[in-house]
């Protein structure tokens, strides 16, 4: 059906305002542990809140009828289980993740969301959406649900090895995201290290510390090195590290949180008196469990591309995918990509030499988000 313009000036203005406010998000439905229908339910929930429209890429036969605010693009081919995600994305341009990334690159959507293979999502993002101008390497940023002091940790898996200039760029990208999406007016940024002194850490961390300490960042402040305990105690709002260290740290925190919650639940059910006390504590414990739930954050955010991408846990349910779509739309609305570029340019932290960044294919192939292989 062809679209016809509204008959009145007032209706025309309202139509323009609605179109300007609506953000389109490309969502890959293949690869999620609970199946494509769970992803579709998440898309429906996100669209129902208004301001977001979802392009859902997956098998139309499995997804069923498209709910309001969701357009299904039949893309049954999945590369989520491919052992070599880079080769798989190159050889299967009709796959759901490749088509979703192209929709973003071509301007049909403003952001990409995927709960399938992290490596495939990274590869598709690098091949189609491409790195932002002047960015060495994209980084995966995870909003760690620390009670009372949530922190953005990056990189958490895209780059196992980094140089000082990469860490400097991660700091600027993380601060821009924290301001635009997380709503922090003046984020505090730190480097994850084994001591607070500027001389502690690897040679790359020490060199990055010197650059960040000497630079001027009016929109955020550099608080120096942050040790492991500071990561969960509110020492900084954004913590920067290489992808190997970040991935290990995040998985340790997730594992400890799950183990402690399980231990508390077991203790509360260990006897009649414990069960009675557990009933009294249930509302508070439920609130703590919800605060620690990674689904509320929406997944890890791939920063440093020309458009925003969000990579979810494969085990997410509908609520997690809905959160991912909403946070991706907010990132588009707040122009996080543009703000990141401006921050890097103002700090003189943009990459100067031309040509593709080293290790792009290796980064995509070796990346992982907690909960994914």
Whether 71 shows a pLDDT value over 80: the answer reads yes
Instruction: Give the predicted TM-score (pTM) of the model.
Output: 0.78
- Predicted local confidence at residue 25, as pLDDT: 97
* Percent helix / strand / coil, the chain, rounded to 5: 45, 15, 40
Whether 4 shows a pLDDT value over 80: the answer reads no
Residue of 258 and 155 predicted with greater confidence: 155
The 52-58 sheet, strands edge to edge? 70-74, 52-58, 23-28, 111-114, 308-311, 300-303, 139-144, 151-154, 238-240, 188-192, 221-226
- Predicted local confidence at residue 361, as pLDDT: 41
Whether 267 shows a pLDDT value over 80: the answer reads no
Which domains occur in the chain, in start order? 22-366 (3.40.718.10)
Count Cβ atoms below 10 Å from residue 74 Cβ, excluding itself. Answer: 13
Q: Report, as an integer, the average pLDDT of 287-316.
A: 77
Q: Report, as an integer, the average pLDDT of 307-324.
A: 89
- Predicted local confidence at residue 278, as pLDDT: 60
Mean pLDDT of all residues belonging to the chain: 82
- Predicted local confidence at residue 282, as pLDDT: 63
Listed range (98-112, 126-140, 292-306, 323-337) with the worst mean pLDDT: 292-306
- Predicted local confidence at residue 365, as pLDDT: 36
Only one residue has tokens 């609130």, namely 287
- Predicted local confidence at residue 264, as pLDDT: 67
- pLDDT band of 298, cuts 50, 70, 90: low
- Predicted local confidence at residue 373, as pLDDT: 33
- Predicted local confidence at residue 91, as pLDDT: 93
- Predicted local confidence at residue 218, as pLDDT: 83
Whether 111 shows a pLDDT value over 90: the answer reads yes
- pLDDT band of 370, cuts 50, 70, 90: very low
In 3D space, the residue among 101, 103, 107 whose CA is nearest the CA of residue 126 turns out to be 101
- Predicted local confidence at residue 3, as pLDDT: 32
- Predicted local confidence at residue 358, as pLDDT: 47
Listed range (50-59, 234-243, 341-350) with the worst mean pLDDT: 341-350
- Predicted local confidence at residue 130, as pLDDT: 94
Q: Report, as an integer, the average pLDDT of 57-86.
A: 91
Whether 349 shows a pLDDT value over 60: the answer reads yes
Residue of 14 and 94 predicted with greater confidence: 94
Whether 121 shows a pLDDT value over 80: the answer reads yes
Only one residue has tokens 């991660």, namely 170
| Residue 220 neighbours by CB under 8 Å, 6+ apart | 175, 178, 179, 186, 187, 188, 189, 238
- Predicted local confidence at residue 96, as pLDDT: 95
- Tens of pLDDT, residues 164-212: 999 999 999 999 888 888 888 999 999 999 999 999 999 999 999 999 9
- Predicted local confidence at residue 14, as pLDDT: 36
Asked if residues 71 and 63 have their Cβ atoms less than 8 Å apart, the reply is no
Listed range (5-19, 40-54, 78-92, 197-211) with the worst mean pLDDT: 5-19
- Predicted local confidence at residue 22, as pLDDT: 87
Whether 72 shows a pLDDT value over 80: the answer reads yes
Tell me if residue 33 falls in helix, strand or coil.
Answer: coil
């Amino acid at each position: 059906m062809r679209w016809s313009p509204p008959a009145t000036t007032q209706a025309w203005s309202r139509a323009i305002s609605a179109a300007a406010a609506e953000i389109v998000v490309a969502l890959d439905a293949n690869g999620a542990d609970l199946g494509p229908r769970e992803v579709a339910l998440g898309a429906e929930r996100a669209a129902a809140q208004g301001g977001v429209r979802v392009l859902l890429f997956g098998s139309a036969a499995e997804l069923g009828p498209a709910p309001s605010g969701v357009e299904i693009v039949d893309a049954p081919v999945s590369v989520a289980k491919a052992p070599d995600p880079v080769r798989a994305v190159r050889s299967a341009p009709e796959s759901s993740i490749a088509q979703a990334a192209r929709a973003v690159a071509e301007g049909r959507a403003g952001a990409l969301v995927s709960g399938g293979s992290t490596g495939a999502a990274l590869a598709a993002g690098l091949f189609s959406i491409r790195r932002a101008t002047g960015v060495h390497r994209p980084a995966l940023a995870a909003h760690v649900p620390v009670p009372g002091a949530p922190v953005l940790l990056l990189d958490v898996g895209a780059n196992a090895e980094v140089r000082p200039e990469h860490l400097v760029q991660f700091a600027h990208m993380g601060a821009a995201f924290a301001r635009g999406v997380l709503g922090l007016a003046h984020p505090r940024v730190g480097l994850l290290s084994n001591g607070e002194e500027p001389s502690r850490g690897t040679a790359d961390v020490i060199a990055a510390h010197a650059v960040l300490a000497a630079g001027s960042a009016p929109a955020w402040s550099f608080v120096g090195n942050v040790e492991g305990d500071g990561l969960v105690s509110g020492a900084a709002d954004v913590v920067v590290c290489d992808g190997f260290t970040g991935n290990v740290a995040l998985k340790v925190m997730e594992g400890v949180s799950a183990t402690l919650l399980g231990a508390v639940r077991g203790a509360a059910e260990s006897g009649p008196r414990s069960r009675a006390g557990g009933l009294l504590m249930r509302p508070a414990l439920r609130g703590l469990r919800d605060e620690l739930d990674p689904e509320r954050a929406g997944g890890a955010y791939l920063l440093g591309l020309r458009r925003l991408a969000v990579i979810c846990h494969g085990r997410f349910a509908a609520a997690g995918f809905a959160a991912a779509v909403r946070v991706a739309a907010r990132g588009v609305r707040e122009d996080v990509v543009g703000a990141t570029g401006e921050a890097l340019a103002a700090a003189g932290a943009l990459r100067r030499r031309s040509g593709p960044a080293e290790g792009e294919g290796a980064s995509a192939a070796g990346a992982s988000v907690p909960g994914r292989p």
